[in-house]
A and B are shown apart, each in its own frame.
Chain A
Amino acid sequence: VLHTTRSLHTTQQSLAPVSPLPEKGGEVRHGLIPEEFFQFLYPKTGVTGPYMLGTGLLLYLLSKEIYVVNHETAAAACILTVIVYGIKKFGPSVAAFADKLNEEKVAMAQAMKDEAIQALQSAIEEEKKEQWRVEGCSYLFNAKRNNIAMLLEANYRERLLTVYNEVKKRLDYQVAMQNLRRQKEQEHMIQWVEKNVIQSITPQQQKESIAKCILDLKALSKNAHVAM
């Protein structure tokens, strides 16, 4: 029944919570003598044993002058009366006040614990949502990959078109050059031939050709008159 000390950290570490404080302390009678004393004497002397012991002890101390009665005894008696009266009168209210303080402390600790649990639970929810999002990531990445592939393709085709245009321009230039050269050569040749022919026509030949033309014209006009 008697209380022994509880030594900590002798066994292996266990994660169980510490047992709470006991509700009430050890029983004490008259505020001074623990109940164990009365229980100790009960088998031999019954209920009145300790009181008899106390009275006898008191009378012995007084008669043998082991306890000396002087002014301090009167002072002690007065002080004890006041103390006992105070405790009896204000005890319960002080106890209620202390209990309220304790309860506030416990409530605060409980609130903190609840908050912590709440925060952790919301963190768990968030984590689950993030995990769900990760699953959707594959779709996102596929779409992005497609985008990029399209961009690359478009770029490649643009450049292909540019190359084609450039090459065509160069080839057109070459063709135009050749055409121009041929045209110039032709013109030049024609001019040169004309010039030479004109030079080679002497005045004599000119008169003869003009006369022949006039004769031809007359013949033609005659034919035309006849035909009509």
Chain B
Amino acid sequence: GPLSERPLMEVRLGELHTWISTCKFSPQGLLGAAQRAWSSYCAKYIHVKQGGPAGISMLLAGYCLLSYGWNYQHFSKTSYFRNS
């Protein structure tokens, strides 16, 4: 289909910057994109007849990574191998 209506996964690397330029960066556009991403994730991993641990474990892993990233300053200050 046309470039502006393809989801992110079907866009090739070379067309990425043109695809980004066609994105709507208004609050509604961002909200809609977030909504679509969340519902596609749910439809694929959570709303199935036989899901496994994969659905929640990926969310938890993402949460761990995010919280590590937010608290990185604190971690680096209290490291055992500080060079100062």
- A binding-site residues for B, Cβ under 8 Å: 2-6, 20-26, 28, 31-32, 34, 65, 67-70, 87, 91, 95, 99, 102
Q: Of all chain A residues, which has the CB nearest B50? A: A24
- B binding-site residues for A, Cβ under 8 Å: 7, 9-10, 36, 39-40, 43-55, 57-58, 61, 68, 75-76, 78-81
Contact residues of B: prevailing secondary structure: helix
Q: List 29 A-B contacts (CB under 8 A).
A: A2-B7, A3-B40, A3-B43, A4-B7, A6-B43, A20-B49, A21-B48, A21-B49, A22-B48, A22-B49, A23-B48, A23-B49, A24-B50, A24-B51, A25-B44, A25-B54, A25-B55, A28-B45, A28-B52, A28-B58, A31-B53, A31-B54, A32-B61, A65-B76, A67-B68, A68-B75, A70-B79, A95-B52, A102-B49
CA distance A22 to B51 in the complex (A): 10
CA distance A87 to B53 in the complex (A): 8
* B48 contact from A24, A68, A99, Cβ within 8 A: A24
Quick check: B46 and A25 within 8 Å, CB to CB?
A: yes
